[in-house]
Amino acid sequence: MQNKYPIGILGATGMVGQRYIQLLENHPWFEITWLAASDRSSGKPYGEAVKWRLDTPLPDRIAKMPVSPADPAGAPKIIFSSIDAPIARELEPKFAEAGCAVLSNSSAFRMTPNVPLVIPEVNAEHLHLIEEQASRRDSGGYMVTNPNCSTIGLVMALKPLEERFGIEKIFVSTMQAVSGAGYPGVASMDILDNVVPYIGSEEEKMEAETLKLLGRLEGHSVKPLAARITAHCNRVPVVDGHTECVSIQLGKKATAEEIVAAWDAYRPLAGMDLPFAPQQPVQFATQPDRPQPRLDRNRERGMAVTVGRLRPCNLLDWKFVLLSHNTVRGAAGATILNAELLVSLGKLEPAAVAMRA
């Protein structure tokens, strides 16, 4: 136990906060030692403050842990954060300035030039940006973000193609699960027997984040990929798992076999032994009607992206469907994998030192 990194959770009672707790139970490297949520919850045992919505039991140890105020004093040096953007904008820099490694699922700083937006399989080298942050020099603290839940599956499916063939145009239309909106989130009166073809700011996030993630680190910032992308985002009556219809235009011609081969061969984290890294990050399903959220969202404990239905597109080159678990791969698991990557890169040492003290 004393060899694990102590982790604090900002936004512990939200849907993603709950996933952090579920996924970190029995994590070999990390251990939750601090939980913070809104002032309303502060001081209560977590088990009373939370409306636990996951299908595994809330661990007893966590249920009894008191909810702390969202203040760096008393917090451990590694913080997993999933809070609303306006609050994140204010709180996350405070923790970084206090010397914390802030690994955030919030959208507040994803597009900030010196804040890395990272998917370990895609753009680990962008992590160098933390050295551009003033807090890093002052206190050792820094901020790293992971993408929006709808972006992450898309980028993981695109990256192996971008590497081999280049990507020029991307069309994506999503069918997103309700868990992506948090809790209480989407009202049942809005989604039973219904579709809501609108999610506030989601299309803009997908479009911007995708190009930053696929971009190249140049000097002090990332030069986004020079591709064009358009997104249509929709909410559907599904609990977990975002499904996305994609059409793409490649930089050079590729056959279906070459595309599938690129996905199959894509294992950039192989050999690194990161506990949450999927063995095969992008899995091609051969059945004509897959992927499907209920059947495919839990592949590799929710950390793999499933692609399928690869076929020619009349407008661009190819079209296909992808699916990823939005609160695991697309949120809590993304933060955890970023933390594991930082450990393997030696960038969480200050935190580790703090822990052993």
Q: Is 208 in the site for its own copies (CB under 8 A)?
A: no
Q: Which stretch binds its own copies (CB under 8 A): 90-98, 268-276, 293-301, 341-349?
A: 293-301
x-or-dash pattern for its own copies, window 321-340, by CB under 8 A? x-------------------
The smaller minimum CB distance to its own copies, of residues 16 and 103, is found at: 16
Q: Is 173 in the site for its own copies (CB under 8 A)?
A: yes
Q: Is 87 in the site for its own copies (CB under 8 A)?
A: no
Q: How many angstroms separate the Cα of 19 from the Cα of each of 70, 96, 246?
A: 19, 23, 28
Residues 177, 182, 184, 187, CA torsion sign: negative
241 to 260, contacts with its own copies by CB under 8 A? 243, 245, 247
How many angstroms separate the CA atoms of 17 and 23, rounded?
Answer: 10
Our measurement of the distance from residue 311's CA atom to the centroid of its chain's CA atoms, rounded to an integer in Å, reads 28
Q: Is 230 in the site for its own copies (CB under 8 A)?
A: yes
User: 193: number of CA atoms within 13 Å, CB side?
Assistant: 1
Q: Does a cis peptide bond (omega within 30 degrees of 0) precede residue 147? A: no
CB of 196 to its own copies, least distance (A): 6
Q: Does a cis peptide bond (omega within 30 degrees of 0) precede residue 291? A: yes
Q: Which amino acid is at 21?
A: I
Residue in 193, 218, 219, 271 binding its own copies, rule: CB under 8 A: 193
DSSP string, 23-91: HHTT-SSEEEEEEE--TTTTTSBHHHH----SSSPPPHHHHHSBEEPS-STT--SEEEE---HHHHHHH
Q: Is 186 in the site for its own copies (CB under 8 A)?
A: yes
Tokens of 159: 């990256």
> Of the candidates 154, 161, 121, 157, which has an alpha carbon nearest to the alpha carbon of residue 251?
161
Exactly one of 100, 149, 233, 325 is catalytic; name it.
149
Residue in 10, 62, 118, 175 binding its own copies, rule: CB under 8 A: 175
CB of 217 to its own copies, least distance (A): 24
CB of 262 to its own copies, least distance (A): 21
Q: Is 195 in the site for its own copies (CB under 8 A)?
A: yes
Q: Is 150 in the site for its own copies (CB under 8 A)?
A: no
Q: Which stretch binds its own copies (CB under 8 A): 37-45, 98-106, 150-158, 307-315?
A: 307-315
How many angstroms separate the CA atoms of 333 and 15, rounded?
Answer: 13
Q: Which stretch binds its own copies (CB under 8 A): 26-34, 85-93, 164-172, 346-354?
A: 164-172
Q: Is 192 in the site for its own copies (CB under 8 A)?
A: yes
In a 3-state reduction of DSSP, which class is residue 214? coil
> Of the candidates 344, 349, 352, which has an alpha carbon nearest to the alpha carbon of residue 120?
344
Residue in 232, 260, 261, 344 binding its own copies, rule: CB under 8 A: 232
Q: Which residues contact 281 (CB under 8 A, 6 or more apart)?
A: 121, 156, 266, 267, 268, 269, 303, 304, 305
Exactly one of 27, 126, 233, 242 is catalytic; name it.
242
Q: Is 273 in the site for its own copies (CB under 8 A)?
A: no
Specify whether 313 is catalytic.
no
User: Residue numbers of the site for its own copies (CB under 8 A)?
Assistant: 15, 52-57, 169-171, 173, 175, 178-179, 183-198, 207, 228-230, 232, 234, 236-239, 243, 245, 247, 288-299, 308-309, 313-316, 319, 321
The residues that are catalytic are 149, 242
